[in-house]
Every structure is written in C-alpha cells, then in structure tokens.
Amino acid sequence: MKITVQAWRQSSPTSAGEFVSYPVDNVSEDMSFFEMMDKLNNNLIRQGKDPISFDHDCREGICGTCGIMINGRAHGPLKGVTSCQLHMRSFKDGETLVVEPWRANSFPVIRDLVVDRSSFDRVMESGGYVSVNTGGVPDANATPILKNDVDLAFDAAACIGCGACVATCKNSSAMLFVGAKVTQYALLPQGQVERKNRVSNMVAQMDIEGFGNCTNTSACEVECPKEISVENIARLNREFLKASF
C-alpha cells in the first residue's frame, strides 16, 4: 500500500502549527496504524528531519495515551477501537489520512500530535481516595453486591481516560469521563463513604479545567473506544443533585 499522511506539525505550545503531507510507501495492511507512523518517522530521521511526536505506551488498547484524530474521527474509523489497535487494512491503497491532535482548550497541544491531558489527572485527584478497612483478604463473596450493580461498575471502570469523548464533543465536555469515574465507585459499597464529596469535587474541578457542558448528542458514546454508555452521564447528574441537597 501507499499512504499519504497529512499530519499536524507544531513545534511548541506557543508556536503556530500547520498540516504537512508525507508519502509512506510499502505499507503492509497488517501493520498497526502506529507501526505505519513508526515507518514514517524512520524515513524522516533518515532524511535528517524531525520525527512526528505522538503519544503511545502499551499499544494494546489499555493505557489510553494514543488519542489522535484520523480523518476527523477520534481514534479512526472503527467503533470500539483505540488508535494503537487500528490496522492499515482499515484504509485503502492511495488514501490520504489527515492526522491531528485532540482539539480542546482543556487539552493544550504540547508538540505535534501530543496534548497535555493532565486536566483529567486533576479531576481524578479531586475525587480523593476510597476509605475501606482492608484487614485480611476477604472471600470474594464476603460482601454481597447486586450483580447488576457490579456489571455497571465494571463497565464504567473500563474507561481508559483517553479523552476521545472530549475531542469529539462539540462542547469539549468531559462528562462521560467523569460520569464513568463517579459510577465505578457510587455503585459499590467500598465507595460510599466519600460518595457525596467525590462527585461534588470532581464536577467542580471539571468546571475549573474549562470543560464544556453536555448537550446530549451522544457523540462521546459513539467515539469512545471502550463504548462507555451515556447512562453514566445521567447517573453523574443524579449523584451531583443528591450531593447538592
């Protein structure tokens, strides 16, 4: 395959950026998207040019660092797949791929495709810890929990904090992310002690970071690589109202 990558290049947070086109030859359809980017960067280094900076770590769809926009879609064209798990067979020979970073004021660009997502970390930190007396290791069934609650909590905990929900939302809302993090504790007995303070603090920090509000377009759920449900946003609103009273 021959692919043209039209990548966003920006040398620093304060410098102006632009799209630059690069041809990439001999691309195997079995390559992952980032393996193709590695190939492109190797070509650039051999030519004495600066490689394209992009975030990656596990390349197994777990860590959430690989967030980029590909042809206007967060993580690319496939549903329920992270950028690092996307393969080149998803594209056609001769296709041009427009690759850009998350576009949100709360995720400022650091360099090229790398953005600062520390705002998510601060939202998580504002939620605090979970107070439990650990003691010895209890049996798995020592604390009875409704299976439905467990399933919902585990589904919410699948959120990897990649920021696709923010990047794809017209308001740059982080409510799907915050809703998932609130849900995973609100439904389990271990998360009850700080339940009210947690949601109040996380919503307040979310506003401080400059994230927008949800207007129920559900674009976040569509583009989320872990397919986190917007029902978590509804639960976030309910938890916040309860905490407010």
Each domain of the chain, given as residue ranges in start order, spans 3-110, 118-244
Beta bridge partners of 100: 69
Cβ atoms within 10 Å, residue 215? 11
The class that CATH gives domain 118-244 is: mainly alpha
**What sign has the CA pseudo-torsion 205, 115, 96, 82?**
negative
pTM as predicted: 0.92
Tokens of 39: 């190939």
Q: Give the pLDDT of residue 134.
A: 62
> Could you give the dihedral angle defined by the CA atoms of residues 56, 58, 64 and 67, in that order, rounded to the nearest 10 degrees?
30
Task: Give the DSSP per-residue string, 186-209.
Answer: HTSGGGSTTHHHHHHHHHHHHHHT
So what's the pLDDT on residue 130?
82
**138 pLDDT above the threshold of 80:** no
Q: Which residue has the tokens 């040398």?
A: 11
Residue 139 has pLDDT above 80, yes or no: no
CATH of the domain spanning 3-110:
3.10.20.30
- Side-chain-side CA neighbours of 191 within 13 Å: the count stands at 19
* pLDDT bracket for residue 166 (50, 70, 90): very high
Q: Say what the pLDDT of residue 34 is.
A: 96
What's the Cα-to-Cα distance from 63 to each of 161, 175, 240, rounded to whole Å?
8, 20, 28
Query: Is the pLDDT assigned to residue 72 strictly greater than 90?
Result: yes
Closest CA to 224 of 159, 180, 172: 159
For residue 37, what pLDDT band results from cuts at 50, 70 and 90?
Answer: very high
Angstrom CA distances, 79 to 65, 181, 238, stand at 17, 22, 28
Identify the band that residue 190 occupies on the pLDDT scale cut at 50, 70 and 90: confident
